[in-house]
Structure 1
Amino acid sequence: MSSALLALAGTFALVLVAELPDKTMVATLVLTTRFRGWPVLAGVSAAFAAQSVIAVAFGSALTLLPERVVSGVVAALFGLGGYLLLREGFAPAEEGEQDAARRGPAPVSFLRSAMTSFGVLFAAEWGDASQLATAGLAARYGQPFAVGLGAFLAAVTVAGLAVFIGRKLSGRLRPRLLQRVAGVAFTGFALFALWQTVG
């Protein structure tokens, strides 16, 4: 097996395992309850492509940042995300909103849905374990293209799974319930990152 293929396969496996229980899947699930599946997948895939390139290009610099600084920024981002999700999840329902939720995602343009999805995932992936792993693997293998491609393919696989599950669940679960669950999950991520910062 060539070193490039080994780097691609190793990175794919590691990032796939890291992303499956991660905030990436939760965020993509929530986005899929608000927008149509294809624009969400397009937006998050573009975010993953950008983050993979950044991780590979600046991998060694990212690994030199103090761990407490990275953990503190991640804690703040997740705390804000958790607050916003919980605020929306517990806000009083407006008239007609329950009927709209049962009909599925609101008709929003492809570009707007994709750009929103890109922004959410691009911000959420900063300082992520998979991003740091990608940077470390790029330095270890010396195969930046193979490592970047492996990380990208793994993240898109997880996003595709989340979009599929989100579309299946959106008709059965209330979006507000998913927002509350996601808000609690994001708050948990924030507390864990804060513990890493001060611990």
Structure 2
Amino acid sequence: MPPYLDAFLNSTLLVAVSEIGDKTQILALILAARYRKSVPIIWGIFIATLANHALAAWAGHFISGLGVTDYLPWLVAIAFIVLGLWILIPDKVDDDETPKRDFGPFLTTLVAFFLAEMGDKTQIATVFLGAKYDALFAVILGTTIGMMIANVPAVLFGDKLLSRIPMQWVRYTASVLFIGFGLFSLWQVLS
């Protein structure tokens, strides 16, 4: 498989699955219920995610070039295992992450999503994906599409969709994917 395709597919899958039930997906539900205008909310999510994940992937790529290449594969593998365990902890939207002032659906979504992603597990995963793969554009595109795969249905279908999906199983699946990705990365380091 070409390296850019591997980076794209892994980034998309890891973020899409781990984002289900995440605080930003809950935020998408709140914004959809508040504004009832899906198109500007979806565009806000897309642009905020693209900007946030571009910065995160670039940071990971930058860190990988700092001469820590001997330790970086170990750090990346361990980070994915830790993220896999972190996913098992359910997310809630903090009151300080929901906007107090109303700037309309697009701008409110853009700002709220960008801020809610800061330090979130999908942003941290994007940093490590950017460090792992040289195909930076594929990582950015993959993580952004992964976020859209998880959040657009939340905006469009909201509670109807999420009430049918057992969040516990989604978290377990995402956890297994991250831990599996980390273990596979460890196996690659050791081989």
Provide the C-alpha distance between the structure 1 equivalents of 2:21 and 2:159, rounded to a whole number of angstroms.
18
Q: What is the CA RMSD across the aligned residues, in angstroms?
A: 3.1
- What is the match of residue 8 of structure 2? 8
Provide the C-alpha distance between the structure 2 equivalents of 1:41 and 1:16, rounded to a whole number of angstroms.
15
Q: CA deviation at 1:166?
A: 2.6
Of 159, 163, 167, the match for 2:155? 163
Query: Which structure has the greater CA radius of gyration?
Result: 1
- What is the match of residue 28 of structure 2? 28
Structure number with the higher helix fraction is: 1
Provide the C-alpha distance between the structure 2 equivalents of 1:45 and 1:5, rounded to a whole number of angstroms.
21
Q: Which runs of 5+ in 1 are unaligned?
A: 68-77, 89-107, 170-199
Q: Which runs of 5+ in 2 are unaligned?
A: 64-71, 80-92, 162-191
Q: CA deviation at 1:113?
A: 1.3
Once the two structures are superposed, residues 139-185 of structure 1 have per-residue CA deviations (whole angstroms, 9 ceiling, x without a partner) of 1111111111100001011121111123869xxxxxxxxxxxxxxxx
Provide the C-alpha distance between the structure 2 equivalents of 1:167 and 1:114, rounded to a whole number of angstroms.
21
Provide the C-alpha distance between the structure 2 equivalents of 1:79 and 1:164, rounded to a whole number of angstroms.
23
Q: Is the 8 A contact 1:32 1:167 kept in 2?
A: no
- What is the match of residue 154 of structure 1? 146
Q: Is the 8 A contact 1:37 1:167 kept in 2?
A: no
% identical equivalent positions: 32
SS at match of 1:138: helix
SS at match of 2:104: helix
Q: CA deviation at 1:137?
A: 1.1
In the alignment of these two chains, the number of paired residues is 134
- What is the letter of the counterpart of residue 5 of structure 1? L
Q: Is the 8 A contact 2:59 2:130 kept in 1?
A: no
User: Which aligned runs of 4 or more in structure 1 are off by greater than 6 angstroms?
Assistant: none
